[in-house]
Amino acid sequence: MTRTSIIGGNWKMNLTLTLAERLAQELRNRLGSHRGGQLVVFPPFVFIDAVRRRLRDSAVEVGGQDLHPLPKGAYTSGVSAEMLASLGCTRVLVGHSERRAWFGDSDARVAEKLKAALSSGLKPVLCIGETLEQRQSGATESVLRRQLETALGAHGAAALSDLVVAYEPVWAIGTGVTATPEQAQATHAFVRSEFARHFGAAFAEALRIQYGGSVTADNAAALLSCPDIDGALVGGASLDANGFTTIARAGARRS
């Protein structure tokens, strides 16, 4: 089956308001009427509104990098799913490895956040990935299985129909060391087989799995030509409009 590609730009904790607005405008100019694949950028919370205004009615969606698991209340600095939706966000990252490493998001917390996203109507991008140590000790599959099973919990296939999974090996994020297309393809095939086991073959066939970890304009096409790699989640290279445009076009060629 053909899965529509999805390319994400995770801006992380970068830029200033002026620079974020400029990048959004550049993306609008280059990709505003992009066809053949979905595009979404994840700016820091404080820039979402400004970025969204510049990308309104364009092909580039806007999402949040994280969300609080609860809808509202005395949770200083928390940002709820409803707040993101009210800014025009359509998607949200859940369980990014930097959230897990820097902010202590456990598998259980990731599961709560996924549930909050699903019940608010935000489409989640569930991020999973192993560390270098885990890969070297042969634990990749068991780590990914645990991350998936805890996050997906008791959700049925119907609730997960808008789910996107981002496979992001921690050792490849921001390091300049990309998984080879062969390594990424093999792991994506494993992730898809896990979904087939839990939710059936049709669900697994339709699921989109992004690769993330040092994706650049130079290596995107090779990664995206693998049968089980349906998109990319791009950090550093998404801060450059030209680079992100090249990656978006590689995604479109796959669609």
Strand, coil or helix: what is 223?
helix
| CB 96 to ligand PGA: min, Å | 6
Residue (173 or 207) nearer to ligand PGA, CB: 173
| CB 13 to ligand PGA: min, Å | 12
Contacting residue, 43, 213, 231, 251, with ligand PGA by CB under 6 A: 213
- Check residue 246 for interaction with ligand PGA (CB under 6 A): no
Residue (66 or 168) nearer to ligand PGA, CB: 168
Contacting residue, 5, 65, 140, 214, with ligand PGA by CB under 6 A: 214
- Check residue 66 for interaction with ligand PGA (CB under 6 A): no
Distance of alpha carbon 3 from alpha carbon 152, whole angstroms = 21
Residue type at position 237: A
Strand, coil or helix: what is 143?
helix
Query: Which phi and psi (to 5°) does residue 26 adopt?
Result: -65, -40
Q: Count the neighbouring beta carbons within 10 Å of the beta carbon of residue 177.
A: 13
Distance of alpha carbon 41 from alpha carbon 27, whole angstroms = 10
Strand, coil or helix: what is 61?
strand
- Check residue 191 for interaction with ligand PGA (CB under 6 A): no
Residue (37 or 235) nearer to ligand PGA, CB: 235
**Residue found by looking up tokens 């489409």 in the block:** 123
Strand, coil or helix: what is 210?
strand
Contacting residue, 63, 69, 235, 243, with ligand PGA by CB under 6 A: 235
Strand, coil or helix: what is 200?
coil
Residues annotated as part of the active site: 96, 168
- Check residue 10 for interaction with ligand PGA (CB under 6 A): yes
- Check residue 234 for interaction with ligand PGA (CB under 6 A): yes
- Check residue 215 for interaction with ligand PGA (CB under 6 A): yes
Contacting residue, 112, 168, 194, 228, with ligand PGA by CB under 6 A: 168
- Check residue 236 for interaction with ligand PGA (CB under 6 A): yes
Residue (80 or 214) nearer to ligand PGA, CB: 214
**Are the C-beta atoms of 10 and 44 separated by less than 8 Å?**
no
Distance of alpha carbon 82 from alpha carbon 64, whole angstroms = 11
Distance of alpha carbon 111 from alpha carbon 230, whole angstroms = 23
- Check residue 243 for interaction with ligand PGA (CB under 6 A): no
| CB 240 to ligand PGA: min, Å | 11
Distance of alpha carbon 34 from alpha carbon 141, whole angstroms = 36
List interacting residues with ligand PGA (CB under 6 A): 10, 168, 173-174, 212-215, 233-237
